[in-house]
Structure 1
Amino acid sequence: MIKILTDSTADLTPELVEKYQIERIPLYVFFGEECFRDGVDFTHEEFWEKLKTTDVFPRTAQPSPADFMEVYRRLLDEGHEILFIGIGSTISGTISSALIAQKEFPGAPIEVVDSYSLSMGIGLLCIHAGEMVARGMKLKEVAEELRKMVPRIRVSFIVDSLDYLYKGGRLSKTQAVLGNVLNIHPRIAMAEGRLFAAEKIRGKRRAMKALIDWATGEPEKIDPLMISAAHCDAEEEVEEVAETLRGMGVAKEVVLTKAGAVISSHCGPGTVGILYLAKED
């Protein structure tokens, strides 16, 4: 039986984890010398609160090859074939650790898929993997199909404050201060696995509209299975986004998810995003 394995940055809801029997391996989060396992040692809410009350910028670290070896060995002993879908190699060294560990099990049924994404960009691949496994597809077939899907992942977030982009080294102090004074809310997007500022918009409401316009400009290109609205401590705003998406009927299901340590660290509380898979051309 194929076991879908992902990392803690996938931001899957407990219901989706249960439905597809997905297992997660945690990344590590450091606040100074304090080390926490992402998604294990704190809840999303606890992490957001710590972000707001500390001057220490958190840093994340990938699971070690030894962490992966331990999980691989257990799952193989249980008779599973393993499909690992992880955070983009352009963002984290998690995929590297997974591949190093894979080499310790020559000939074992293990496939490693680089999502070149984060958050529910990874999660959507896990869901599609679960659907393919349920249809009886083989391990290598599922992995090959997922790799074809990777370029079709669409990710975009609206940032509430520029402080976290500054703390993470993505903006200068002058840019952050000036942007906050001018009430600038960037729309962050991804291309080839890298985050960049796609738009700089004045005013949060206008920025939220730009986010929805980006996602729904060509609704016929959205894969109908699912679209995700994600947030970092912005429940009311993400509910509004989700209701708009539902009203437009862009997908069968609109899933609300809480963004974890990676997005929360770099974008900060108040961030809202939309993630989906584009249809094949």
Structure 2
Amino acid sequence: MVKIIADSCCDLSPELLEKYNIEIIPLNVLVNNQNYLDGVELSPEQLFEAVKTSGELPKTSAPSVAAYTQIFEKYPDFIYICISSKLSASFQSATIALDSLSNVNGVIIDSLNLSTGIGLLVLKAAELAQQDKSLAEITTVVTELVPKVNASFVIDTLDYLYMGGRCSSMEHVIGSILKIRPVIEVRKDGTLGVREKVSGSRKKGLSALLDNFSKNKDSIDPSLVFITHTVCIADALFLKTEIDKILKVKEICITDAGATIASHCGPNTIGILFLSK
């Protein structure tokens, strides 16, 4: 059977990983000059507390080539689905590792996405693997799904974007005063962009996510929708209730974002992720 491998940015729950026998390669998160393995040694709650104490933004990095090699050489046939190559060096490091191995039959798929946007692809691949589909068959299906992933998040605070150099000091000050919450989307080329800026209450930010979902409801694959968040479960449950009113979805899965995603977006970030038909 083809082994399905993903990195920790896929933000799938331990239950889903176990159910589908998915192997995870953790990214690295550097906090206060201490390196941690995402999902293994550091939770978002611990990360946010460390940032609050130190005032320093964490840094993230891709797994080493050696880490990839150690995993890849265990499986004669595998597919590795990674975070967007526009957002991380994971794809590059994995490619170097695969090229160094002559006794494995592996494929690396650039998800051009993040979080459970990757997770949607990983689960589809794992389902096909459990049906004993071939490496080529799974690769074809997943590759065709890559541009069909839709991922957008509302960010509650500009602090992390500012500390990470992703917005200017003036934008940070003005945005904080006006309570501006950007809605970030993953573009089809794998980069991130601001779809809209919502000012005012947090509820308006959540409404922006729901408005986008409602606008696209006729083209949404209703089999699975993810709601992924950084320590704001009440909002996730609210979105789940509202999505149920918009579209009959077979499964709405709420997941916690890992420390890698949390490092860049901060607390109380929440997103809706789905596949188009």
Q: What letter matches 1:195 in structure 2?
A: L
Correspondence 1:210 to 2:208: yes
Counterparts of 1:113-192 in structure 2, within 5 Å, are 113-191=109-187, 192=189
- Give the whole-Å Cα distance in 2 for the aligned partners of 1:22 and 1:51: 31
- Give the whole-Å Cα distance in 1 for the aligned partners of 2:245 and 2:19: 25
Paired position in structure 2 for 1:31? 31
Q: Does the CA-based 8 Å contact 1:51-1:268 persist in structure 2?
A: no
Paired position in structure 1 for 2:231? 233
Q: Does the CA-based 8 Å contact 1:5-1:84 persist in structure 2?
A: yes
Q: What letter matches 1:120 in structure 2?
A: T
Paired position in structure 1 for 2:8? 8
Q: Deviations over 1:101-125 (max 9, x none)?
A: 1112236211111001010011000
Correspondence 1:253 to 2:255: no
- The more displaced of 14-23 and 99-108 is 99-108
Paired position in structure 2 for 1:85? 81
Normalising by structure 2, report the TM-score: 0.95
Q: CA RMSD in A?
A: 1.3
- The more displaced of 169-178 and 67-76 is 67-76
| Alpha-carbon distance, 1:9 to partner | 0.7
Paired position in structure 2 for 1:75? 75
Three-state SS of the structure 1 residue aligned to 2:84 is coil
- Give the whole-Å Cα distance in 2 for the aligned partners of 1:164 and 1:147: 32
Q: Does the CA-based 8 Å contact 1:85-1:122 persist in structure 2?
A: yes
- Give the whole-Å Cα distance in 2 for the aligned partners of 1:150 and 1:223: 14
Normalising by structure 1, report the TM-score: 0.94
- The more displaced of 244-253 and 205-214 is 244-253
Cα 1:51–1:242 change in 2 (3 A) is farther
- Give the whole-Å Cα distance in 1 for the aligned partners of 2:229 and 2:51: 14
Paired position in structure 1 for 2:53? 53
Paired position in structure 2 for 1:64? 64
Q: What letter matches 2:252 in structure 1?
A: V
Q: What are the ranges of 5 or more consecutive residues in structure 1 without an aligned counterpart?
A: none
| Alpha-carbon distance, 1:25 to partner | 0.5
Q: What letter matches 1:197 in structure 2?
A: V
Three-state SS of the structure 2 residue aligned to 1:75 is coil
Q: Which ranges of 4 or more aligned residues in structure 1 deviate by more than 3 Å?
A: none
Q: Does the CA-based 8 Å contact 1:66-1:101 persist in structure 2?
A: yes
| Alpha-carbon distance, 1:18 to partner | 1.2
User: Identity percentage over the alignment?
Assistant: 37
- Give the whole-Å Cα distance in 1 for the aligned partners of 2:270 and 2:209: 9
Correspondence 1:195 to 2:192: yes
Q: What are the ranges of 5 or more consecutive residues in structure 2 without an aligned counterpart?
A: none
Q: Deviations over 1:143-172 (max 9, x none)?
A: 121111111111101111111111111100
Q: What letter matches 2:190 in structure 1?
A: G
Q: Deviations over 1:66-103 (max 9, x none)?
A: 11111112234xxxx11100101000001111111111
- Give the whole-Å Cα distance in 2 for the aligned partners of 1:42 and 1:36: 6
